[in-house]
Structure 1
Amino acid sequence: MTENIKQAAQPEQATVLVTSGTGKTGRRVVERLAALGTTVRSGSRKGEVRFDWEDDSTWGPALRGADAAYVAYYPDLAAPGAVEAVRTFGRIAKEEGIHRLVLLSGRGEPEAVLAEEALRESGAALTVVRGSFFAQNFSEGAMVEGVIAGEVAFPAGETAEPWVHADDLADVVVAALTEDGHAGLVHELTGPRLLTFAEVVAEISKATGREVRYVPVSVAEYAAMLQEYGMPGAVAEWLAGLFGTLLDGHNASTTDGVERVLGRAPKDFADFAREEAAAGTWGG
């Protein structure tokens, strides 16, 4: 492991592959690395650097000649098949001489931990970044339409979650990619306080000046809703079940991960809501 760290290229010399480079976190990581002067490859299914998690023939060419990679697996590390996919990615990364890997993982996901271990087999200097639910799920994800319609349905009950800002997570990822001292570490990131879904939509209501309410539903009801939107039944049931597991209360705590890495407090959900409302994300 020490030898791998010594071999890692300096930030200004490094070439970094960002998988899922147009995604919620990947896009932010690409922007930050480019601003630092790092050579960045933004991998995506249809972009200039082709990278598709469903086509492993695209992985080697995307990795070739790079020094490091940000690994954001789609759809989730807890998804069926993720462990083997990530293990294969790690093997290819090793063959291509990648020295440093940063993996996006889920907080409190036992299946994701198995994927972390599979990637660790590559022998590269690995940093794991585990994030709580993103605040941006309400501005860039599936819940945007609900916010605009004034009603957000989700199987969370009264469970509180320490919502993390995607900007904070991206800043931590970039630090792990460009600075020494992160290899072998697991950074667990959350926002500064716990908020239930009802409290979250109340923050959005306050920021937008119009009523948005939370409607708790069961896991089965949410799976049925996803299928109504066209999601295949098996995928809908898996995803709804994952949400139900993650929101059973075991993640209802905050960490100091953002502050330890960045030297500042994480962004609060209320600030996120005000920023998005001012940007017109939810109309008006």
Structure 2
Amino acid sequence: MIVVTGATGNIGRSLVGRLLAEGAAVRALTRDPARAGLPAEAEVVRADLTGADDLAPLLAGAEALFLNLAAGGDRAATAVLDAAVKAGVRRVVLNSSMAVTDTPADDTNHIARMHAGLERAVRDSGLEWTFVRGGNYSTNTLAWAPSIRESGVVRDAHPGAQGAPVHEADLADVAAVALLDRSGAHQGQAYLVTGPEVVTIAEQVAEIGRAIGRETRVERISEEEAAEAMSGPHFPKEAALELVKRFGEMVDAPSFPVSDVVERVTGHPGRTFAQWARDHAADFS
């Protein structure tokens, strides 16, 4: 049995499908099973990871756990990890972040600090572990959908920022291989997972336009305006501004190398942003 937290999220939903296709038994955790829309083959269980409920029953009989900080925050993730240890879970695959560098710089970056702290907790848990350090998710561009549908215009502080956006299905595929591993080859590995090519924000907007058959463009705004638009109840403006400024540093070059982890781990090439745009064309139309 494999327990998947954040099962209705972008990565989690893809992961549940992949694990089921491989013949694994899956327990998918979600706040609202009735609205989850997950495959009937999965055991879909109601779970509020931020509440005071005993989490141990959620992990009963499980061999492996996919742990996603986005499913409830760092405290919830730590509580799930503790429950996994008590329940006798053997392996955890953590959806971490490429912001983690394993250097003192991790303490100066809001996103890195959160994920590095959880990575330390996983290492200290005594469980077998694999870290999937993604970031620059292609799904982040879904935030542009309302403005693209309305006007075809995306407002951004750094249209020339370069990245290697990664398809959620590739992150799920890497996680699935690690969760299903019987050889030990992925134990203790921290995988930096990117898309297969460098594209700018302006190029991503153009690819979405091609996928939906409409003209799209970028209008430049200030960093302050961009941070304000990005922030929300679970993402403070200070952290948003830090991220916007980091994108500014990526105008000349990405802050990380393009990784071949997807192909090395899964055996198939990473999916391009153009493919992601085609897969999600309905979200922008």
Q: Is the 8 A contact 1:165 1:269 kept in 2?
A: yes
Change (3 A) 1:235 1:264: closer
Aligned partner (choices 259, 270, 275) of residue 255 of structure 1: 259
Seq. identity, %: 33
Q: Is the contact between residue 2 and residue 66 of structure 2 (CA under 8 Å) also seen in structure 1?
A: yes
Residues 1:39 and 1:255: Cα distance change in structure 2 (over 3 Å): same
Structure 1 segments unaligned to the other structure (5+ residues): 1-14
Residue 246 to residue 167, structure 1, CA distance change in 2 (3 Å) = farther
- Aligned-partner residue type, residue 12 of structure 2: G
Q: Which amino acid aligns with 1:214?
A: V
Q: What SS does the aligned partner of 1:214 have?
A: strand
Alignment partner, residue 182 of structure 1: 186
Residues 116, 95 of structure 1: alpha-carbon distance in 2 compared, 3 angstrom cutoff: same
* Contact 1:162–1:193 under 8 Å retained in 2: yes
Q: Any idea what SS the aligned residue of 2:93 has? A: strand
Partner of 1:25: 11
**Number of paired residues?**
256
User: Measured at CA, do residues 170 and 264 of structure 1 come closer, stay the same or move farther in structure 2, by a change above 3 Å?
Assistant: same
Separation (CA, whole Å) in 2 of partners of 1:22 and 1:155 = 30
CA contact (8 A) 1:53 1:74 kept: no
Note closer, same or farther for the CA distance 1:275–1:86 as it changes in structure 2 (3 Å cut).
Answer: closer
Give 2:167's aligned residue: 165
User: Does structure 2 retain, via aligned residues, the 8 Å contact 1:132–1:162?
Assistant: no
Q: Give the drift of 1:33.
A: 1.1
TM-score normalised by structure 1 residue count: 0.81
Is the contact between residue 161 and residue 196 of structure 1 (CA under 8 Å) also seen in structure 2? yes
Match in the other structure for 2:67? 71
Once the two structures are superposed, what CA deviation does each residue of 1:244-271 show, in whole Å capped at 9, x if it has no partner?
Answer: 2552336343111111101222111122
Aligned twin of 1:117 = 120
The equivalent residue for 1:274 is 278
For residues 252 and 196 of structure 1, what CA distance do their matches in structure 2 show?
Answer: 14
**Amino acid corresponding to residue 273 of structure 1 in structure 2:** A
Deviation at residue 60 of structure 1 after TM alignment? 1.9
Contact 1:220 1:240 in 2 (8 A): no
For 2:280 and 2:78, locate their aligned partners in 1 and report how far apart those are by CA, in whole Å: 37
Task: Could you tell me which runs of 5 or more consecutive residues in structure 2 were left unpaired when the two chains were aligned.
Answer: 34-43, 101-111
2: CA distance, partners of 1:16 / 1:245: 38
Alpha carbons of structure 1 residues 32 and 23: separation in structure 2 relative to 1, 3 Å: same
Q: Residue 31 of structure 2 corresponds to which residue in structure 1?
A: 45
TM-score normalised by the chain length of structure 2: 0.81
Contact 2:227 2:244 in 1 (8 A): no
Q: Which residue of 1 aligns with 2:38?
A: none
Corresponding position of 2:213? 209
SS of alignment partner, residue 266 of structure 1: coil
Change (3 A) 1:126 1:252: closer
SS at match of 2:29: strand
Q: Is 2:94–2:132's contact at 8 Å kept on the other side of the alignment?
A: yes
